[in-house]
């Protein structure tokens, strides 16, 4: 952690004034080094007061996604042990996959302020404009997890993101099976899980997350389907860095529960509570033919259980439309 991040962390932890001398002693640097670091932080947009005989106090922080900001608030155990931040990137998932191939450790976190060619499900593109959204990817190298169980991690990720957004915003957040994050019937976040495997061994998994935070508008074709935290909250602004940290903390927690059983049995109840599909009419776009039914919840293996006219059926892949969500009525 560089000096600027250490000073930010110290000022936040203090919740008041911290003397320059205390910072010097804590980090083993000169007063001049502290003064320079504080001035650099001010130039980046941080509002830091300085009062003789009292020291420094942080009043406000800009909405930045960089190493200084993220490292200064990090409380996770293993996610972010290696942190890579980019002003502009093609795709955080593509970069994270390459880093994993090159030996990046479990928990490596890739974050970008702008993403120009991100990947969504089914080959769709996920663009993240600068300064208003979150693009992040986490490298996972799970020991002992069989490849056939890995797809369930997308449900674990959805649960972590939903809980993190609720925690940071107070908004009511739901999950559209398997991993769309929905507020007021509109999508606010997309998740894409990719992995490199052998027959019975996982080399690595990358979980990509894109969250619409401060988007004020969307293309006409997405108005009925997409939203942002800004729009859903009636115009409130949120710290993107705090959201990233919250997602990482929640993911560590739910991932730990998942890995104990390597399925959703320990998370089924909490996932079902978030499920927008549950108890509602759904349309299953099955290659063998569309059908409708009432979603009951997920199985321990993460499949969606649907009560149809022909009996109960399990859905483990494909598109699932939910009545009242994304314009399906």
3-state secondary structure of 29: coil
Q: Residue 136 has what DSSP assignment?
A: E
3-state secondary structure of 123: helix
* pLDDT in the model for residue 237: 96
128 — pLDDT class (breaks 50, 70, 90): confident
Q: What is the pLDDT of residue 327?
A: 60
Can you give the pLDDT at residue 119?
A: 61
Q: How high is the mean pLDDT of the chain?
A: 92
Is pLDDT above 90 for 95? yes
**Residue 251 CA: distances (Å) to CA of 77, 108, 112, 185, 295:** 11, 13, 19, 24, 25
Give the residue-averaged pLDDT of 215-228.
Answer: 90
Give 220 or 110, the one with higher predicted confidence. 110
Q: Where in the chain is the domain with CATH 1.10.10.10?
A: 3-60
Measured distance CA(281)–CA(295) in Å, rounded:
7
Which position has the higher pLDDT, 304 or 327?
304
Residue 221 exposed, middle or buried by CB count within 10 Å (0-12, 13-18, 19+)? exposed
Q: Span 283-300, mean pLDDT?
A: 89
The class level of CATH for 277-322 reads: mainly beta
Report, as an integer, the average pLDDT of 250-257. Answer: 98
Side-chain half-sphere CA neighbours of 283 within 13 A? 12
Confidence band for 116, pLDDT divided at 50, 70 and 90 = confident
The segment(s) of the chain belonging to CATH 2.30.30.100 are 277-322
Evaluate whether the domain defined by 3-60 bears CATH number 1.10.10.10. Answer: yes
Angle 24-29-32 (CA atoms, 0-180°, nearest 5)?
85
> Is the separation of the CB atoms in 59 and 38 below 8 Å?
no
* Percentage of the chain lying above the pLDDT 70 cut: 95
Alpha-carbon distances, residue 316 vs 101, 113, 156, 236, 299 (angstroms)? 29, 33, 15, 37, 10
Q: Is the pLDDT of residue 329 over 50?
A: no
CB-count exposure of residue 317 (10 Å: 0-12, 13-18, 19+): exposed
Give me the mean pLDDT over the 13-31 stretch.
93
- Complete DSSP assignment for 73-104: H---SSTTSSEEEEEEES-HHHHHHHHHHTTP
Q: Which CATH number fits the domain 67-273, given the four candidates 3.30.420.40, 3.40.190.10, 3.30.930.10, 3.40.50.720?
A: 3.30.930.10
pLDDT at 318 over 90: no
Confidence of residue 105 (pLDDT cuts 50, 70, 90): very high
CA angle 312, 313, 314 (to 5 degrees): 135
Q: Name which residue leads in pLDDT, 318 or 160.
A: 160
Q: Packing angle between helix 31-43 and helix 20-27, nearest 10 degrees?
A: 110
Take residue 260 and report the two structure tokens written for it: 């104990």
Q: Name residue 182's beta-bridge partners.
A: 174, 187
């Amino acid at each position: 952690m560089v000096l600027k991040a250490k000073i930010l962390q110290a000022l936040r932890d203090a919740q008041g004034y911290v003397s320059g001398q205390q910072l010097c002693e804590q980090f083993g640097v000169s007063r001049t080094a502290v003064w320079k670091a504080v001035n650099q932080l001010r130039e980046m947009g941080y509002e830091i007061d300085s009062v003789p005989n009292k020291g420094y106090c942080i009043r406000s922080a800009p909405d930045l996604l960089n190493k200084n900001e993220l490292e200064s608030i990090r409380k996770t155990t293993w996610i972010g042990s290696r942190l890579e931040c980019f002003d502009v990137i093609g795709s955080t998932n593509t970069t994270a996959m390459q880093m994993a191939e090159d030996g990046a450790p479990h928990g490596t976190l890739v974050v970008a302020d702008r993403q120009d060619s991100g990947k969504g499900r089914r080959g769709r593109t996920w663009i993240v404009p600068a300064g208003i959204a979150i693009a992040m990817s986490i490298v996972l190298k799970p020991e002992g997890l069989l490849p056939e169980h890995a797809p369930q991690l997308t449900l674990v990720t959805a649960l972590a993101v939903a809980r993190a957004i609720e925690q940071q915003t107070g908004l009511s957040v739901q999950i559209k099976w398997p991993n769309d994050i929905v507020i007021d019937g509109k999508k606010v976040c997309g998740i894409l899980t990719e992995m490199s495997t052998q027959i019975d061994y996982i080399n690595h998994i990358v979980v990509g997350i894109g969250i619409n935070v401060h988007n004020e508008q969307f293309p006409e074709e997405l108005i009925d389907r997409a939203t942002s935290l800004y729009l859903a909250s009636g115009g409130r602004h949120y710290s993107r860095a705090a959201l990233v940290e919250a997602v990482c903390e929640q993911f560590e927690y739910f991932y730990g529960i998942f890995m104990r059983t390597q399925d959703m049995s320990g998370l089924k109840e909490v996932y079902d509570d978030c499920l927008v599909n549950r108890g509602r009419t759904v349309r299953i776009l099955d290659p063998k033919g569309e059908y409708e039914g009432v979603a009951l919840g997920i199985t321990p293996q993460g499949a969606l259980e649907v009560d149809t006219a022909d009996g109960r059926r399990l859905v483990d892949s494909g598109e699932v439309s939910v009545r009242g969500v994304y314009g399906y009525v």
